[in-house]
C-alpha cells in the first residue's frame, strides 16, 4: 500500500497507464463521436452529463476511434470520453502518440513507420543512453565496439570478423539506364555538378550518354571538378593492377620518387620495364634521348645524331666500339664525318647524295676500307673533302644503280693527306 495515497499498487500519479481524455459539447442531436486520440477496445469510459455509460447497453466502441451512443445526445449535453492506453507487456501496442521520458528497452522486434531521434541512434551498440553514444549514428556488428576518437564523424559502422565486412548497395532494376552508385557532393552539389561517383552498371545498361564502359562495368569519376588519387605519405606507393590480384598482376606503380610501368622500380621519374610502342604522331623529345638501340622505318632529328657518343660534333656522328670493326651508318645522306679513332672499316647505305667530309681521329699509317651502297632508288652521288687524295688527282665516281656496292681502300699519310685508291669491286651486287 502506498503510504502517500493509500492506494493498493500504483497511485493515479505513478500509474504506468497512459490516460487520454476528450470532451464533446453537441449543438444538436448527435449519436456518433470520433475520439481524436483513439482507444483500445475495452479500455474506454464514457460519461454523459457526468453519468457513466455502460458499454453494450448505452454505447458501442468497436473500431478504436468512433463511439456510438444508443440514445442521441442533445444540445447542451456534455459527453466525456476517457481512454486507458493499457498494453500487454509481451505485446505492446498503442493507438495514439506514446511519449517515453526515460529509456525504452525492446527485446523483440520493433516496427515503426518513422523514427525521429533528436540526439543519436545506436544499433548493436554497447552504449546505454543516447547522450553517451559517440556519433549520431553508431552501428556495431556482433563482437565489435565503436571506432574511438573519430573527428566530425556522422556515422560509424564497425564490424569484427576474420573476413571482409561490406556495406551493401544494390539496384535490382535491369533497365538500360540502371546502375548502383555511391555519390558524394559538395555544399552546392546537384545531380549534374560538383560530385564524385563510385558505381557499377547493371546487366541491361546500354545508353548513348555513357559509352566509356558498358554493362557490368565499374567506374569512379568526378563530375566537373579536379580529381586527385594518391598516397599522402613518403615511402608508400600507389599501384594499378589488371588480370588478377597477385603481385605479378601489378602493371604500374607510383611513389614519391617516380613512376614505374611494367616494373616496381621507381628510382627514375619514369621507369619502363618492357618495350614502349608509340603510334599516331609518335613522340617528341626536347631533351636528350639515350638508348642502346633504335629500330624503325624513319628517325627524324632536327639537331644532331650521335651514335656511340653523347656529344656529336656534326649532324651525323658515329663512334665505334672497337678499332678494326666496321661501323655501320645505316641509311646516310648529307655530310658524313668518319671517326678513324674508332675503327678502320666503315659501311654506309645512301638515301641521298653525300659529302664524305674530312675524318677525325686519324692516325698516320692507318688503313682500311669504306663500303658504300646505293639504296633501292639509286642515283646517289659521293663527293669528298679536301684531305682526300686520289691517283691522277681525280675522285672516283661510285656506281649509281639500285643496291650497287662499291669499296674504297684508303691509307692515312698524315692528318692532311689520306690516299684513297680507285674503286675496287665496282658495281658489286
| Cα–Cα distance measured from residue 379 to residue 368, given in angstroms and rounded to the nearest whole number | 25
pTM (two decimals): 0.53
SS3 17: coil
Give the separation between CA 380 and CA 429, rounded to whole angstroms. 16
Q: Which residue has the cell 610501368?
A: 261
User: Grid coordinates standing for 344?
Assistant: 678502320
| Range 321-329 average pLDDT | 43
Percent of the chain with pLDDT over 70: 79
The answer, yes or no, to whether residue 320 has pLDDT greater than 60, is: no
| Range with the poorest average pLDDT among 25-29, 352-356, 419-423 | 419-423
For cell 645524331, name the residue.
Answer: 305
Residue 387 CA, chain-centre distance (Å), reads 66
The answer to whether residue 326 scores a pLDDT higher than 50 is no
Return the pLDDT at 309.
63
Q: Are 423 and 407 in contact (CB under 8 A)?
A: yes
> In sequence order, what are the beta bridge partners of 360?
339
Delimit the domains of the chain by residue range.
18-85, 121-158, 179-222, 238-272, 305-428
With residue 382 as reference, give the H or E element that holds it. Answer: strand 382-384
pLDDT for residue 324: 37
Q: Which residue has the higher pLDDT, 324 or 407?
A: 407
Q: Does the structure show a pLDDT above 80 at 240?
A: yes
Which grid cell sits at 159?
564490424
Edge-to-edge order in the sheet of strand 121-123: 121-123, 137-140, 155-158
Buried residues in 114-140 as b, exposed as e (16+ CB within 10 A): eeeeeebbbebbeeeeeeebbbebbbb
DSSP state of 272: E
Residue 166: half-sphere exposure toward Cβ, Cα within 13 Å: 5
pLDDT (0 to 100) of residue 318: 55
Q: Is 283 exposed, middle or buried (0-12, 13-18, 19+ CB in 10 A)?
A: exposed
Q: Are 180 and 202 in contact (CB under 8 A)?
A: yes
- The dotted CATH code for 305-428 is 2.60.120
Pairing of the two strands 44-48 and 51-52: antiparallel
The 8-class DSSP code of residue 131 comes to G
Helices (H) and strands (E) in the chain, counts: 0, 27
**Sheet strands side by side (includes 270-272):** 238-241, 250-254, 259-261, 270-272
Amino acid at each position: 500500500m502506498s503510504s502517500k495515497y493509500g492506494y493498493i499498487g500504483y497511485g493515479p500519479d505513478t500509474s504506468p497507464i497512459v490516460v487520454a481524455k476528450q470532451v464533446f459539447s453537441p449543438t444538436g442531436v448527435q449519436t456518433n463521436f470520433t475520439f481524436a486520440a483513439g482507444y483500445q477496445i475495452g479500455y474506454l469510459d464514457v460519461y454523459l452529463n457526468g453519468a457513466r455509460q455502460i458499454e453494450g447497453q448505452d454505447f458501442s466502441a468497436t473500431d478504436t476511434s468512433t463511439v456510438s451512443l444508443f440514445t442521441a445526445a442533445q444540445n447542451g449535453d456534455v459527453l466525456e470520453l476517457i481512454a486507458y492506453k493499457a498494453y500487454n507487456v509481451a505485446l505492446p501496442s498503442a493507438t495514439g502518440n506514446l511519449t517515453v521520458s526515460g529509456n525504452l528497452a525492446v527485446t523483440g522486434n520493433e516496427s515503426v513507420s518513422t523514427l525521429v531521434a533528436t540526439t543519436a541512434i545506436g544499433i548493436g551498440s554497447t552504449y546505454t543512453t543516447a547522450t553517451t553514444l559517440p556519433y549520431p549514428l553508431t552501428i556495431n556488428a556482433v563482437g565489435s565496439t565503436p571506432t574511438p576518437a573519430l573527428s566530425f564523424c556522422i556515422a560509424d559502422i564497425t564490424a569484427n570478423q576474420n573476413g571482409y565486412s561490406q556495406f551493401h548497395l544494390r539496384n535490382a532494376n535491369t533497365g538500360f539506364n540502371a546502375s548502383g552508385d555511391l555519390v558524394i557532393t559538395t555544399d552546392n552539389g546537384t545531380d549534374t555538378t560538383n560530385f564524385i561517383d563510385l558505381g557499377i552498371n547493371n546487366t541491361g545498361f546500354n545508353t548513348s550518354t555513357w559509352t566509356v564502359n558498358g554493362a557490368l562495368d565499374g567506374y569512379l569519376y568526378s563530375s566537373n571538378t579536379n580529381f586527385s588519387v594518391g598516397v599522402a605519405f613518403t615511402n608508400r606507393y600507389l599501384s594499378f593492377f589488371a588480370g588478377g590480384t597477385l603481385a605479378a598482376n601489378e602493371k604500374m606503380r607510383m611513389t614519391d620518387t617516380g613512376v614505374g610501368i611494367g616494373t616496381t622500380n621507381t628510382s627514375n621519374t619514369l621507369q619502363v620495364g618492357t618495350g614502349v610502342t608509340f603510334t599516331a604522331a609518335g613522340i617528341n623529345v626536347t631533351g636528350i634521348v639515350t638508348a642502346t638501340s633504335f629500330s624503325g622505318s624513319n628517325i627524324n632529328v632536327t639537331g644532331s645524331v650521335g651514335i656511340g657518343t653523347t656529344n656529336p660534333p656534326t649532324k651525323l656522328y658515329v663512334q665505334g666500339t672497337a678499332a678494326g670493326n666496321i661501323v655501320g651508318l645505316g641509311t646516310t645522306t648529307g655530310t658524313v664525318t668518319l671517326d678513324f679513332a674508332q675503327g678502320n672499316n666503315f659501311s654506309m647505305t645512301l638515301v641521298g647524295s653525300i659529302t664524305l667530309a674530312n675524318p677525325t681521329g686519324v692516325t698516320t699509317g692507318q688503313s682500311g676500307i669504306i663500303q658504300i651502297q646505293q639504296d633501292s632508288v639509286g642515283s646517289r652521288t659521293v663527293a669528298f673533302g679536301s684531305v682526300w687524295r686520289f691517283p691522277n688527282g681525280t675522285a672516283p665516281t661510285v656506281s649509281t644503280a639500285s643496291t650497287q656496292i662499291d669499296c674504297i681502300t684508303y691509307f692515312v699519310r698524315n692528318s692532311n693527306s689520306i690516299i684513297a685508291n680507285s674503286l675496287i669491286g665496282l658495281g658489286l651486287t
